[in-house]
Structure 1
């Protein structure tokens, strides 16, 4: 009998190991028997982390029952009172090892105000964590945004929240691809080892005391100036598909082309206002077709993530 599996499922995990990668980055290796079925798509694969309540518990809304659909238990979760609703946060998987029933998730440490950073700062081996992630047995996949098509040149830009996705993407790039990668991080010590193809330049941008996004924006604008000097394409004679409306501040800032066009593909992720401004510059200012620009507002300054 054929069994149909949902693209995403709930995994009970515990912390196996923790590794401090840099002052701001902490890698948590999670383990659990069901991780043998965890999907291994890689790249910018999104997952959800369900964090424990202050007493370490997880309210059961049916998330562990495979007969209950994700939308149903999510509805129940939303109806819970605040004190019974486990925080849910979106992360990118860093590595998957189904043969050893392990996954790696990298956390950005920024104090204890946010539930995920607070949990990661204190959790030791054996601490429980619930993960909503892909099921390798499912016919469908989801949660992947990287889609460069046949583009031979890439622009990748993001802040520290995008580091796990950027690292996984860069490590997967074919040898013939060329391009530029800009990663804004809190300090110089947060630059991580990253193997890139010979034609792909990676720059870690230490923010230090500068405003969030300032150094990333400056780097992408400088990239644009070089591009303009090397090409005759401008915003005035840009190809079709570049029409761009300014998003409402309450909208989810997330647009990913179904199929990239052209020879250059841009992938932008991080703080929403910074990423929105960079996308606007690429499309309106430089005339890059919007169908070649993927942009994702991972978080918005001053606001908690809406699960």
Structure 2
């Protein structure tokens, strides 16, 4: 019997392309093995291995038996000549339908500078890529989910368009007793997407227009902090401070998530690294929110090619 890796490779074919707004499009992928694609929802991360210009993929041993571990195939990929190395990007699963062997991934369209955006703009039924994601047949957890509010039921979710699919997925999975706010900055007002959420959670979409990332998100979070008031801050009896987290890997993207949250409130921040770092600093230093109750993830960094 084949031993599956917690994060395994799935050959996926485009079934449908659905424009959602000016800057968002949803691509539905199918494939016989996707009936085994496993996820608990929330902000489940996956890797998309985009094809080379001719539609092919480099030989990485992804479908060998036994299945290679991630560090093995990734090492092979890193060792490829530049011309033979396909692009790999990280995304969030928007929806999974095992019975139909389908998954949805929402793409942000921002021109052809990034390989994933360029691919998504031209994608049509029958195109293929490789998805690296959780396999329900594997033993043990796959990981890739950072949403972890613990006992907290008062939440703040904030991010830019790259975090919008994760925030929407989280909102749709929240139990009805959650309260709080979700604040999402997107390229244009028309990029606001319909999303189900608990009645106690307010969802705000901020159309950025031609201004810089964070121009609307940062002051809106400060307004949220002012409305939160000193009473909430007074209930935080233990605030964990300390040095800013170290950058990780070669991407120099900041990422820090608490392992355990014991308080009543929880914040989840994702998007451009500089913006979410400033937001996190405001929550912890200015609003006195426990650092261990704030998850923040730099999905991308200004000046570095993405998506």
TM (norm. structure 1) is 0.94
State the shift of 1:208 in Å: 0.9
The CA distance in 1 between the partners of 2:223 and 2:69, in whole Å, is 47
- C-alpha separation in 2, matches of 1:99 and 1:246: 41
Query: What is the match of residue 137 of structure 1?
Result: 137
Answer with 247-256 or 84-93: which moved more. 247-256
Note the residue ranges of structure 1 that are not aligned, 5 or more in a row: none
Match of 2:30 in 1: 31
Corresponding residue for 2:216? 215
RMSD: 1.8
Contact 1:259–1:291, Cα closer than 8 Å, also in 2: yes
Shift of 1:194: 1.1
Classify the secondary structure of the residue corresponding to 1:160: coil
Alignment length (residue pairs) = 303
**Residue correspondence of structure 1 range 234-245 to structure 2 within 5 A:** 239-245=238-244
Q: Does structure 1 residue 75 correspond to structure 2 residue 75?
A: yes
Structure 1 residues 45-66: Cα deviation after superposition (integer angstroms, max 9, x where no partner)? 0000000111111001112224
Q: CA deviation at 1:238?
A: 5.9
Deviation at 1:233, TM superposition (A): 2.6
**How far did 1:4 drift?**
4.0
The separation in 1 between residues aligned to 2:23 and 2:221, in whole angstroms, is: 23
Q: Deviation string for 1:185-208 (max 9, x for gaps)?
A: 011110000111111100000101
Question: Contact 1:9 / 1:66 at 8 angstroms: preserved in 2?
Answer: no
1:77–1:291: structure 2 CA closer, same or farther, 3 Å change rule? same
Cα deviation for residue 35 of structure 1 reads: 0.5
Preserved CA contact (<8 Å) 2:233 2:289: no
Q: Which runs of 5+ in 2 are unaligned?
A: none
Q: Hey, what's the Cα distance between the residues in 2 that align with 1:62 and 1:88?
A: 16
Alpha-carbon separation, structure 1, partners of 2:71 and 2:247? 26
Aligned equivalent of 1:87: 87
